[in-house]
Structure 1
Amino acid sequence: MSKKKSVKRPTPTALQREVDQLDRELAALIQQRADLIQVATELKAAGNTVDGLIDDDQRIESLAQKSRGALPPQEIRSIFREIFSGCRNVAARLKVAFLGPEYSYSHQAAIERFGQSAELVPVATIAAVFEEISRGTCQFGLVPVENSSDGRVTDTLDMFAKQPLKICGEVQLRIHHCLLAKCDRAAIREVYSKPQALSQCRNWLAKHLPQARVCEITSTAAAAQLATQQAGVAAIASRAAGVNYGLNFAAENIEDNPRNVTRFAVIGNESGKKTGDDKTAMMFQTEHKPGALADAMNIFKRNRLNLTWIESFPVSGGDQEYLFFVEMEGHESELKIRRTIAALEKKTIRFEVLGSFRKMTPTD
């Protein structure tokens, strides 16, 4: 009977040498990529078609799905998001407006989409995000559209009605709320957060902190900052806010809905490029008469379009008149959507294609 051969394990010194060599190779390859993206950006500015080298989402998703090893897909996405963000900013500094302040969920979503090498610009209101794009001071903006627990974000729909910029991307972010404080949970007398976050944790608060006074504030990050300054005050905010402000985690994942997701729209001046896995958003208003809405909605059925989102929104100053926001599977360049657009333009009194963009899955 033959003896089993033992596998020789590398020594710690050999392992360290191998890791150091890989680190040097990685740094050199990242620099080579940055140089190529700089050339691609210059070619694009000169009118050449090189979008495939510059558009990041599809490439990152493909790398995450095909990668095999100890790192899960989400970690691969995060690593390549930062590499791509840094390479892109060597050629042209990207400015992105988001609903601030920093360490809010909007800030977290902006990092998820653009990476931290982009210049992320916090502004005070959703309207201000739209204004930054319209004035040309930022190339992109990021605004919340809907939450799986609380529904639509009224301020965002109102701005699309007033200033219909293009949706060119989306971020679906799983929202995990933390109870943050300087004191122990037993000493908490007041809990601050924005109304939506408080609403998403109302059952947990009623069960675990029934005596605490619930107070509304403008943002989750502002609540976290307040919790650092006042005794007995806690905040409902993100993990990132807790780490940044040095707060204790009195409880984590306190959202009532474990599948709590907020969807953000990336807005700019152009639609996203066709990827083969897209959605298209539209906004329209019909005449205020019997059957007008049914006639418009039948157009989607005739063209075999699957709607993924529909919202009604009252027209400002109107008398029981509504705008309708819809999303469907497919890109606006596809024939069946072009037919739908042509038919809706005839059946509506106001119509806007808000943009096409790649479908994204929720991320933590």
Structure 2
Amino acid sequence: MDSYPEPARRLVEAMTDAADREPRRAVAFQGAPGAYSHQAVREAFPNGLPLPCLAFEDAIEAVQSGAAARAVIPIENSLHGRVADIHFLLPESGLHITGEHFVRVRHCLLSTGPRDAIHEAMSHPQALGQVRGRLKAWGIRPVGAFDTAGAAAFVAEAQDPSIGAIASSLAAELYGLTIHAEGIEDASHNTTRFVVLDREPLTPAAGVPVMTTLMFETNHVPASLFKALGGFATNGVNLTKLESYLRDGSFTQVEFYADIEGAPGDVGVARALEELRFHTKWLRVLGTYQQARPRVLGGG
């Protein structure tokens, strides 16, 4: 809590106390109050009690320990791709993906004074990169910060009208800042996908479109990935996402993260997973959950 500016620390303390009293309603997220992860929690669980955590590991540990019923964690962004470290944390957490939620990221220029008094704007480096064109046009110098909401809290604490923040409208609401412009990102499709993590798996309702997320490591032989994925094509299973990453600094130990449409109990998916297991060193199904938005066929 000490790493947050004072306005954020007060909110964190109040939100943590509320979550401690009713952990079954608590939903953990990473970041200061007003972060886009906080927005995701409010949208996905309007009756939940948002529980801010400094790091992704802290949000996951809150669920593991029972301090929170679930966590909402960003996994990928339409501009910047996957969120760092999440693919390493998920399989080791012992938690299950039980849902997904998409947040349209609409950056705002916030401050305590008039717009023309702002000479520099603070935010997370990714957010600054997403509003580079607008800041340049306004002649405002970007300044990196730990996160978007933390920058907003700092601006509220500093009470310096020459310093602005790039953050959400929720951050402006929480810290009493003026919104000078909203939706200032250079790309209009800027969207972050979040996943919901629970201690126990969830069986989606019958008849709803579902996703299954899995991770695996192929055998270290030629064409192993081609063979491992062949079962999805022959069984008509749509593969909507596939990413590779290296573990432990090795350039030979390659692991894969994948999203597919369907559930392991479906005949085609079951056959595809059986073939996948044959060509992999290990396979972990992280969860099956209802789609928050339809996917376009053609990925697999």
Shorter-chain TM range is 0.7 to 0.9
SS in 1 for 2:259: strand
Question: Contact between 2:28 and 2:50, CA under 8 Å: does it hold in 1?
Answer: yes
Question: Contact between 1:204 and 1:254, CA under 8 Å: does it hold in 2?
Answer: yes
* Structural mapping, 1:173-184, within 5 Å: 173-184=103-114
- Which structure's residues are more often helix, by fraction? 1
Of 356, 359, 364, the residue aligned with 2:288 is 356
The alignment covers a number of residue pairs equal to: 269
What's the TM-score once normalised by structure 1's chain length?
0.70
How far has the Cα of 1:118 moved from its partner?
2.0
Other-structure match for 1:86? none
Of 228, 240, 262, the residue aligned with 1:296 is 228
* Structural mapping, 1:100-249, within 5 Å: 100-115=31-46, 117-209=47-139, 212-228=140-156, 229-231=158-160, 232-249=162-179
Name the amino acid aligned to 1:217.
Answer: A
SS in 2 for 1:271: coil
Name the amino acid aligned to 1:295.
Answer: K
Q: Which has the higher contact order (CA 8 A, sep 6+)?
A: 2
- Which structure's residues are more often strand, by fraction? 2
How far has the Cα of 1:208 moved from its partner?
2.5
Ranges of 4+ aligned residues in structure 1 off by more than 6 Å: none
Distance in 2, Cα, partners of 1:270 & 1:294: 32
How far has the Cα of 1:178 moved from its partner?
0.2
Question: Contact between 1:332 and 1:355, CA under 8 Å: does it hold in 2?
Answer: no
Question: Contact between 2:94 and 2:199, CA under 8 Å: does it hold in 1?
Answer: no
Question: Contact between 1:98 and 1:129, CA under 8 Å: does it hold in 2?
Answer: yes
How far has the Cα of 1:205 moved from its partner?
1.8
Name the amino acid aligned to 1:250.
Answer: H
How far has the Cα of 1:333 moved from its partner?
2.3
Question: Contact between 1:177 and 1:236, CA under 8 Å: does it hold in 2?
Answer: yes
Identity %: 35
Distance in 2, Cα, partners of 1:215 & 1:239: 19
What's the TM-score once normalised by structure 2's chain length?
0.84
Name the amino acid aligned to 2:42.
Answer: I
How far has the Cα of 1:164 moved from its partner?
4.7
SS in 2 for 1:127: helix
How far has the Cα of 1:340 moved from its partner?
2.0
Name the amino acid aligned to 2:179.
Answer: F
How far has the Cα of 1:122 moved from its partner?
0.8
CA 1:283–1:155 in structure 2 vs 1: closer, same or farther (change >3 Å)?
A: same
Question: Contact between 1:284 and 1:325, CA under 8 Å: does it hold in 2?
Answer: yes
* Higher gyration radius (CA): 1
Of 209, 216, 238, the residue aligned with 1:277 is 209
Question: Contact between 2:98 and 2:196, CA under 8 Å: does it hold in 1?
Answer: yes
Name the amino acid aligned to 1:101.
Answer: A
CA 1:92–1:238 in structure 2 vs 1: closer, same or farther (change >3 Å)?
A: closer
Q: Considering only aligned residues, what root-mean-square deviation do their CA atoms show, in Å? A: 1.9
SS in 2 for 1:251: strand
Name the amino acid aligned to 1:214.
Answer: P
